[in-house]
A and B are shown apart, each in its own frame.
Chain A
Amino acid sequence: DAGITQSPRHKVTETGTPVTLRCHQTENHRYMYWYRQDPGHGLRLIHYSYGVKDTDKGEVSDGYSVSRSKTEDFLLTLESATSSQTSVYFCAISARGGPDTQYFGPGTRLTVL
């Protein structure tokens, strides 16, 4: 257990609405990540953070933004949700102080109708 929680765990929303997912960690890890999981694709990196206010894009960042104003919280925002963003979203941290082994939160299932 790497002390990672995600909220909400499930969410159903409508196309065009803004959505924010929260990742919270309790162990002061510097690196945090957001992934999405879709059938046939494994997990794909959306955005990551290497410190407070330090973020960068991943493989599938279009339509997503992130913010990290505190070490413990990493927020993922869908400014205007689309049906293609229906997915399971995972937050992760690197536990060794650098870009190494990643540990995952429990996931958030998001459905955009």
Chain B
Amino acid sequence: AQTVTQSQPEMSVQEAETVTLSCTYDTSENNYYLFWYKQPPSRQMILVIRQEAYKQQNATENRFSVNFQKAAKSFSLKISDSQLGDTAMYFCAFLRSNDYKLSFGAGTTVTVRA
């Protein structure tokens, strides 16, 4: 299984400010996908953002953006203008191209303070 590491178990951010979550992964593959999922207290797993490794351009989805550094095997998530509804656990995940096994990091709990 691929190794995905999220080194920050917990993070706290003031409402309207920016927070960056780190993720590193270990692979010898050249083609793969990377994802960030959000899990709020409702327990639902929600896709936040998706990045294809062959694309150099960083993916963005509204207030969420990534910094994908392929050579460094790093895939950080930036949440801008944090909102109370962003409070959740965030998981980084890796999928090899043409594989079925999504590998997850252990997660980072983000708390947005009012």
Contacts and interface: CB of A to CB of B under 8 A. Distances in A.
A42 B105 contact: yes
Given A90-B45, A101-B50, A59 B104 contact: no
Interface size class of A (residues with CB under 8 A): 20 to 34
Given A100-B95, A101-B35, A40 B101 contact: no
Contacts of A18: none
Contacts of A58: 101
SS of A interface (majority): strand
A43 B100 contact: no
Interface residues of B, number: 23
Contact of B43 (A45, A59, A106): A106
A102 interface: yes
A50 B98 CA distance: 12
B102 interface: yes
Interface in A29-55: 31, 33, 35, 40-45, 48, 50
B104 A104 contact: no
Given A90-B45, A104-B45, A99 B95 contact: yes
Interface of B: 1, 4, 33, 35, 37, 43-47, 50, 91, 93, 95, 98-102, 104-107
